[in-house]
Every structure is written in structure tokens, then in C-alpha cells.
Amino acid sequence: MIEIKKIEDLLPKKKRDQPRRLLAVFAHPDDESLNLAGLLAKSAQEGIKTYLVCLTDGEKGVIDTKLKGSKLKKKRIRELLRASKILGVGKVFFCHLPDGRLYYQQQKLKNFLKEIITQVKPGVVITHDPSGGSTHPDHIATSLTLKSLLSNYPSDEINLYFVVLGEVLKETMREIKKQKINWQMMPEPTHWLNIASFTSIKEKACLVYQSQKLAQARPVSLKVWYQLFDREYLHLVDLRKKYPFRFGKFEVNYFKFKPPSQKTILA
């Protein structure tokens, strides 16, 4: 596994002497801070232009039951913009697709992402991994669509990375949730970043999301949590290789999803 010393090392070699651009693509507001806050903050510190795509407005993330519909959408968008500013993101693109419905919107999703990639011309694209992490169908649809799209690009133009977890954090989360989490589809990490000097920024960005009460999502304070788990992990995608994706039933107290098919897709 490769330690990331400089973010520019994640770019294809031919892109390192050009304007350095990184594009992060996530399904919901808060995905960027939970998954990639340290790397985004370090990118900004190194002078790399960072861009963020948020595909939905997160209206299905009803944690605060006082907020619903358009009010929740507006609040989550405001929170994302505040968090992005903390992390030094240069520009945020919103797709405004329906939360929880990306499985059914994959062509629209592909068209939108192709347009953004043409506009931004990134050397690095980072997104959810094929497992979805939490197995959320929006995460999986995002990962599948980007992998399919970028497989048509020259391999020396863009490096695609999946955000993945290290083994220690995987085991810890399994213990916390008291259940076996289906992460068989998650590729092994190829790169890791020490974010010890960015944990306070990551905590600050996560705490912006009051609508999601992220401070209560861990058994200890976020400050302690990110001091314990002060690494972010990536998997460099081999765009010539087929990766397995599978949509399964997903159910939490505020959202249910049952796909028409649970067959494994190779893309």
C-alpha cells in the first residue's frame, strides 16, 4: 500500500505539469466530509484546484424530523456549502437528482457527470466504492456510473479512485453495529493518507451537518474518533478491469429500497 505524501502524486504523470485538478463525486451532502475531508483539505493546502459534485439534495436523510421536504433540502445544501468552504473546495456542482433514486436515474447521472468532467478536466476523480460502504444504493449507483463512464477515457488522462476503509476501522464498525456488514464488494486499499494534522478540520466540517446530527453518530466524540482513525484510504481503479457491483435491499428508519434485480453487475 502506498502512503500519499503529496496529493499531486495521485494524478497521472502527464497531468502533474498541467493545472492540477481534483474532482470528488458523492451522492449526498455530508458524504464528502465523512469520507474525504482530510484529503480535500490537504489538496487545497497544496494548491490543487478541488471541485465537488453532489448528486442529490439529501432529502431522504430525515434525522431531524422537524425538517422535511424543501426545508430539509435547503438546509442540507447550505450545510454542504459551509462544509466545502471549510475544506477549501473551489466549486460545488449540484445535480439535484431525487435522493434514493439514483438507481433509476443512471443515464441522467452519466450525462451530467460527462458534462462536468468535460468542463473541469480533472486529473483525479474520487468517489464511492462498489460496495457503497453502507450499501446505500445511491452510493453504489454513483460508483457504477463513474466506473462505466471513465472506462471510455484514455487511461493516462484520469485516475479514478474509490474511497475505501482500512481493516481496523472495518472491524470497529462491525462491532459497533453489532451485525455483519456486507463489504465483500469493497476493494482493498492501494493508497493511504495520514490526516492527523487535518482531524480538527474534518471534525469541524462534519459538525456543520446539524440536520444529520453527525456528532451523535459515533460512540465517542468526533474529535476522539478522528484521532483514533486518522487515515483515509483509497483504491486506485484499474479501468481495464471489471469490478462487481450489486444492489441489494436497503432499509433504515427513514428510507427503504428494493431493487428489481439483485444480480451482480460487472462493469
State in words which class domain 2-236 has. alpha beta
The rounded radius of gyration (Å) of the Cα atoms in the chain is 17
Helix axes 69-87, 31-45, angle to 10 degrees: 30
Tell me if 205 sits within 8 A of 80, measured CB to CB: no
CB 237 within 8 A of CB 126: no
pLDDT, average across residues 36-63: 94
Determine contact, residues 198/46, Cβ cutoff 8 Å.
Answer: no
188-215 mean pLDDT: 93
| pLDDT value of position 179 | 56
Mean pLDDT of 204-219: 83
At which residue does the C-alpha cell 493518507 appear?
193
Q: What is the pLDDT of residue 136?
A: 93
What are the pLDDT digits (tens) for 216-245?
667 688 889 899 899 999 999 999 999 999
Average pLDDT over residues 38-53: 97
Q: Pick the residue with more confidence: 213 or 76?
A: 76
State the cell numbers at 57. 439534495
Has residue 128 got a pLDDT over 70?
Answer: yes
Give the pLDDT of residue 89. 98
Joined together, the cell numbers standing for residue 166 give 482500512
Kindly list the distances between the CA atom of residue 232 and the CA atoms of 19, 35, 121, 210, in Å, as whole numbers in the listed order.
24, 7, 24, 23
Q: Does residue 180 carry a pLDDT above 70?
A: no
Proportion of the chain above pLDDT 70, given as a percent:
95
